[in-house]
């Protein structure tokens, strides 16, 4: 907690889940507020309805609006924390003995105003540290929203494959019974053909069953990758401003790569060989 801010005020702008200052706070139906990333983080089944972490009342999880007032208060609290940090003796500019207020976008360094206008940095892009940090936070939050949407899509696809797997054996057995019933209506000398076609149908059914399991495993693995990336972005958002700016690195690029190559449900068909004599019987009918 920040000694420069009263404890009561700090509690008002602290998320009860992560115990950090709010990032993108949302207020749900019961009146309690949380960081949106914390509230959305349970990706096990992504229900539309969920429970409040404070009072356990059921609430809608979708289409939550950012609480602008709480977001602004959290920004001000981080700003106070930043200035307390920068005002310490070890953070003063060694050359000009001034507070470092600026962030250089090129070499990711903190500079005092005199250093930022020096020959070395005069053509670099500079921003006040607190605004640069908030801009980076907003980029992270935007990327987290994309990850969340992809996680929802991936979970829906995973549910589709899980349902297909649970019904697939019944469907194959139904096709086998239908084929046996048709062969019972044909001459006995088609026994070898029946045996061959039944074996082929079983093999194709087994192959598709295996493909569905592989598809489900890929989606489950992708869910964990998305979840891990989401948590990494969330942790970066919660870092103090200076740590966020200097540790930003390639995290956005890595999150982009996670969004590529999302596994999709398989479009599979169970074909079967022709039954001798059935076409003639249908023509006669």
Q: For residue range 51-71, list pLDDT tens digits in order.
A: 787 888 877 666 788 999 999
Whole-prediction pTM: 0.79
- pLDDT value for 214: 94
- For residues 194 and 209, membership in a common domain is answered with yes
Q: What percent of the chain has pLDDT over 90?
A: 33
The two tokens of residue 136 are 């980076």
pLDDT surpasses 70 at 111: yes
* pLDDT grade for 42, boundaries at 50, 70 and 90: low
Q: What percent of the chain has pLDDT over 70?
A: 87
pLDDT surpasses 70 at 96: yes
- pLDDT value for 194: 76
Would you put residue 19 in left (φ > 0), alpha (ψ -120 to 50) or beta? left
> How many domains, the chain?
3
pLDDT surpasses 90 at 217: yes
Burial 31-69 (b: 16+ CB within 10 A, else e): ebbbbbbbbbbebeebeeebebeeeeeebebeebeebee
- pLDDT value for 113: 80
Residue 266: Cβ-neighbour burial (10 angstroms; 0-12, 13-18, 19+)? middle
User: Which range marks the domain in which residue 114 is found?
Assistant: 88-124
- For residues 279 and 144, membership in a common domain is answered with yes
Which CATH number goes with the domain that contains 7?
Answer: 3.30.40.10
Q: What is the pLDDT of residues 160-205, one digit of tens each?
A: 899 888 888 888 888 888 877 877 776 666 777 778 878 888 888 8
- For residues 277 and 158, membership in a common domain is answered with yes
Lowest model confidence (mean pLDDT) among 1-10, 28-37, 51-60:
1-10
Mean pLDDT for the stretch of residues 71-77: 93
- For residues 181 and 109, membership in a common domain is answered with no
């Amino acid at each position: 907690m920040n000694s420069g801010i009263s404890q009561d005020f700090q509690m008002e702008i602290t998320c009860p889940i992560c115990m950090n200052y709010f990032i993108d706070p949302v207020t749900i139906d019961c009146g309690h507020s949380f960081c949106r990333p914390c509230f959305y983080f349970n990706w096990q089944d992504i229900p539309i309805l969920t429970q409040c972490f404070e009072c356990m009342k059921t609430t809608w999880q979708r289409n939550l609006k950012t609480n602008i007032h709480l977001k602004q208060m959290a920004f001000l609290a981080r700003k106070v924390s930043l200035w307390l940090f920068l005002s310490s003796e070890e953070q003063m500019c060694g050359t000009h003995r001034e507070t470092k207020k600026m962030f250089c976008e090129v070499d990711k360094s903190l500079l005092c105003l005199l250093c930022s206008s020096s020959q070395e940095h005069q053509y670099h892009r500079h921003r006040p540290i607190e605004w640069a940090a908030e801009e980076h936070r907003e980029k992270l939050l935007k990327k987290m929203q994309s990850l969340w949407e992809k996680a929802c899509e991936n979970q829906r696809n995973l549910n589709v494959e899980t349902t297909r797997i649970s019904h697939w054996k019944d469907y194959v057995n139904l096709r086998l019974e239908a084929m046996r019933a048709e062969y019972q209506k044909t001459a006995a000398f088609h026994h070898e053909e029946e045996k061959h076609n039944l074996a082929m149908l079983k093999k194709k059914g087994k192959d598709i069953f295996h493909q569905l399991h592989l598809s489900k495993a890929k989606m489950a693995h992708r869910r964990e990758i998305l979840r891990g990336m989401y948590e990494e972005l969330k942790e970066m958002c919660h870092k103090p401003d200076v740590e966020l700016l200097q540790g930003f690195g390639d995290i956005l690029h890595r999150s982009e790569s996670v969004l590529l190559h999302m596994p999709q449900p398989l479009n599979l068909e169970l074909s079967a060989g022709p039954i001798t004599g059935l076409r003639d019987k249908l023509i006669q009918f």
